[in-house]
Amino acid sequence: MSDTAGALQHPWPDLRMQRAGVGLGMWMFLASEVLFFGGLMVSYAVYRSFNEDAFRIAGAHAQIVYGSINTVILLTSSFTMTVALRAATANVRQATLLFLGITAALGIAFLVCKGLEYREDLKEHLFPGPQFPLSPPATAMFWGFYWAMTGIHAVHLTAGIAVVLVVWTLFKRRVIPVQGSTMEGVAIYWHFVDSVWIVLFPLLYLAGRS
């Protein structure tokens, strides 16, 4: 247990409480995030109920191959994140570093894949604007949501990757011990970003294929 020295932060009385507190704080932040994405998804739901046909036509143009590959990548990253958290709780330092590294790599892979998909989309002028090829007009609405939703999700994922890399470096340099409360918060956040994608996938890629 000597490895946990320095893990206890002001003002916590002990590490168990601190870990629970970090977890609680992160869950509350995620409650906030749920409402954040909730605003977006409710808007999507309202417009889709008004423009069913347009959303079906527009949704058929979403690149489902890229979307599916990305779903697999992100779900796998949640698995490796869980392994990293378990390893950290058990104070197995090497495994924590390894699986955290894989998690970050999978996150980056998702972003690369997303970038390739964006390139395909732009080739077809699917960004709402003068050259937008689809009709009726409400198809542009679907694609507005496509860019907003995937963009905001990508920003969240980028933040997640950055945090994982920072934490990885701190662990590597033994600035903070792996068994502290850090991994708790990081892991919960990562799973959240993953679960947002699980909701976005059917909304964006399956809407035109039902």
Partner 1 sequence: MTDAALPFVPPLDIWRGSYLDEGHTIASWLTTTDHKRIAILYALSITVFFFIGGVAIGLVRLELISPTGLFLTSDEYNRLFTIHGIIMVWFFLVPSIPATLGNFLLPMMIGAPDVAFPRLNLLSWYLYVGGAAFTVYVLLSGGVDTGWTFYPPFSSEYSHSNVIPAAVGVFIVGFSSIATGVNFLATIHMLRAPGMTWLRLPLFVWSMYTVSVVMVLATPVLAMSLLLIVAERFFGLPIFDPSAGGDPILFQHLFWFYSHPAVYIMILPAMGVVSEVFACFARRRVFGYAFMVFAMLMIAVVGFMVWGHHMFVAGQSPVADLIFSFLSFIVAVPSAIKVFNWTATLYRGHIGFEAPMIYALGFLGLFTIGGLTGLFLASVPIDIATTDTYFVVAHFHTIMVGGTVSAFMAGIHYWWPKVTGKLYNEFWAQFAAITMFLGFNVTFLPQFVMGWLGMPRRYHYYPDVFQIWHVLSSGGALILAAAYLMPLVYLTWSLFYGQDAGANPWRSTGLEWQTPSPPPKTNFVRPPRVDADPYEYHDFGRTEETGGEARARPQGEAT
Binding site for partner 1 (CB under 8 A): 10-13, 17, 20-21, 24-25, 28-29, 31-33, 35-40, 42-43, 46-47, 50-51, 54, 128-129, 136-138, 140-141, 143-145, 147-148, 152
Sign of CA dihedral 136, 42, 155, 82: negative
177-to-10, 90, 96, 170, 199 alpha-carbon distances in Å: 16, 12, 11, 8, 34
Cβ proximity to partner 1, 97 vs 185, nearer residue: 185
Q: How far is the CB of 133 from partner 1 (least distance, A)?
A: 14
Q: How far is the CB of 101 from partner 1 (least distance, A)?
A: 26
Q: How far is the CB of 76 from partner 1 (least distance, A)?
A: 28
Cβ proximity to partner 1, 40 vs 95, nearer residue: 40
CA distance 16 to 14: 6
Q: How far is the CB of 72 from partner 1 (least distance, A)?
A: 28
CB 26 within 8 A of CB 189: yes
Q: How many helices (H) and strands (E) does the chain have?
A: 6, 0
Return the number of other C-beta atoms located less than 10 Å from residue 147's C-beta: 14
Cβ proximity to partner 1, 20 vs 199, nearer residue: 20
